Amino acid sequence: MSDLVLSAKGVTKRFGRRTVLDSLDFEPAPGAVTVLLGRNGAGKSTLLKLWLGVLRPDSGTVRVGGLDPGRHARRVRSLIGYVPDRPDVYPWMTAGDLFRFLAPQYPTWNRDAQARLGERLGVPLDRPFRSMSRGEGMKAMLVAALAPEPPILLLDEPFAGLDPVVREEVLKGLLSEFRAGEQTVVVTTHDLDVAARIADRVAVLSSGRIGEQGTPEQPQELLQRINAS
């Protein structure tokens, strides 16, 4: 649903004396895939967590479908599928446990989609997360994010640390499930090849603000922009 957009206006977020986001203005294109690029520590994960309502801005406003995540946390989270940069589940849980826990909380949870994508990605349902590889854990989190068929997807470095084969499996899984024009997607990544393959729009976060924005370019040109920022 393209009317469910993300926005950040005049957002500043500090951690102690360090200003991570500095009067940032950003509104990803609705119904499109926006890849957010930037160096480690640039504030990409912080911005996603502000939209999730996990963090609150020190100043400025963040909105998800017109809602304040801090005041409407439950409603906002029902609109978002989120993949963190590492699985944020109890290590004793299995993927099956996770899916059974989440499904009743989402009226839109699609068990057929869960089973289809889980099988495609080879997600081990009965193995605890503590014994999974990084790739297996990320695949399980991806299924958990996509099964409710949310109108908004926030994916935080979903390809980081994956070997090339697993990265390709995850990438193809994502591409098979994206609903063009129906989902607003923000992906943070350092993988410029992935950015070039999935992005409708690219934005570069530097010095606490969104600098460059535009359509995807050749990976080398994107790399030059980041290095120059």
Q: Using CA atoms, how far apart are residues 197 and 191, in angstroms rounded to an integer?
A: 10
Alpha helix segments (H runs only) across the chain: 44-52, 73-79, 95-102, 111-121, 134-146, 164-177, 192-198, 219-228
- Please report how the helices 134-146 and 111-121 are oriented relative to each other, as an axis angle in degrees rounded to 10: 160
For the sheet with 184-188, list strands across it. 80-83, 152-156, 184-188, 33-37, 201-206, 209-214
Which residue ranges make up each domain of the chain?
A: 6-92+151-228
Collapsed DSSP state (helix, strand, coil) of residue 143: helix
Q: pLDDT value at position 222?
A: 57
pTM score? 0.89
Per-residue tens of pLDDT for the chain, all 229 residues:
435 589 999 999 999 999 999 999 999 989 889 999 888 888 999 999 999 999 999 999 999 999 999 999 889 988 999 999 888 899 999 999 999 999 998 989 999 999 999 998 899 999 999 999 988 998 999 999 999 999 999 999 888 777 888 888 888 777 777 766 678 999 998 777 778 888 888 998 988 999 878 777 654 565 565 555 5
Q: pLDDT value at position 2?
A: 39
Q: Facing residues of 83 across strands?
A: 155
Longest dimension (CA), the chain: 48
* DSSP 8-state code for residue 41: T
Q: Using CA atoms, how far apart are residues 44 and 97, in angstroms rounded to an integer?
A: 30
Sequential DSSP letters for 146-181: HTT--SEEEEESTTTT--HHHHHHHHHHHHHH--TT
Tell me the CATH number of domain 6-92+151-228, given options 3.40.50.300, 3.30.420.240, 3.40.50.720, 3.30.360.10. Answer: 3.40.50.300
CB 219 within 8 A of CB 195: yes
